[in-house]
Structures are given as structure tokens and as C-alpha cells.
Amino acid sequence: MAIINDEKEIQDQTIVISVKTFFAVGAAMVLLVGEYIVLQGDIEEAKRLPVAIMPEVGRLEIDMTNKILIQHFEDIEKDIAQINKEIEEVKKKIYEDFHLMSKHDKENFKIE
């Protein structure tokens, strides 16, 4: 008996949809159907196209790429060595400047 009453209550319910919401749902449906049609057309076009042939990578291309990479790594190593040299020069300069400071300046010296 309770089940029948629940069914009648569900059947008697009404849903209120504004015109704005109705048109928004309709526009969304039109967009989805349009995208589906375009997608199906693209799939059919792809089926008609010839299969792409992948070019073979030869030994020459691999060797040239390896040479370029090795040269790039060597350049980076040279840059790092130059940076390390400059850091050492700056350290020496700071050390010399610190030793030239007076005792009072050294006591009040703070690194921030």
C-alpha cells in the first residue's frame, strides 16, 4: 500500500523550468549534436586519407645529433668552469677586503 502511494506522489510531482533554462538546455543539445556530426565527418575523412609513412632515421642523422649534443655538453662544461673560476675570484676579493677591515668593522660585520 505504501509503495502505491509513493508512486502516485512521484507521478503527481511537477517540475518548473524557466524559458531561459529550457533554451540553454536546447542550445547545449544542438551544440553536442553538431560536434558529434563534425567528429563523424572527420573520422570518415581520416579513413579516406592514405596511411602516413614514417621516415627512417639513418645512422648519419643519429651521429649528427650525437655530435651536436656532445658539443653542447662541452660548451656547458666550459661555462661551468668559467663560472667556478669567477666565483673563486670573488671569494678571494671578499677575503682580501675582509682582512683589510679594521677590528671594529670586523666585529660589527653582518652577512644578510
CA 89 to chain centre: 39
pLDDT of 77: 97
Question: Can you tell me which residue has the cell 668552469?
Answer: 81
pLDDT at 57: 80
- Number of independent structural domains in the chain: 1
Dist CA 23 CA 29 (whole Å): 10
Specify the higher pLDDT residue, 110 or 99: 99
Whether 60 is covered by a domain: the verdict is: yes
pLDDT at 94 over 90: no
**pLDDT tens, position by position, 32-72:** 999 999 999 999 999 998 887 888 888 889 999 999 999 99
Residue 33 lies in a domain: yes
- Cα Rg of the chain, angstroms: 38
24 assigned to some structural domain = yes
Assess if residue 112 is contained within a domain.
Answer: no
Tell whether 78 is covered by a domain: yes
pLDDT of residue 101: 66
pLDDT at 14: 79
Give the largest Cα separation in the chain, rounded.
102
Query: Among all chains, which residue has been given the C-alpha cell 677575503?
Result: 95
In sign, the C-alpha dihedral spanning 95, 99, 100, 103 is positive
- Is the predicted pLDDT of residue 85 greater than 70, yes or no? yes
Distances (CA, A) of 88 to 12, 41, 80, 94: 87, 66, 12, 10
Does residue 27 belong to any structural domain of this protein?
yes
Does the residue 42 lie in any domain?
A: yes
In three-state secondary structure terms, 7 is helix
Domain that holds residue 19: 2-107
Question: Do the domain assignments include residue 71?
Answer: yes
In which band, very low, low, confident or very high, does the pLDDT at 15 lie, cut at 50, 70 and 90?
Answer: confident
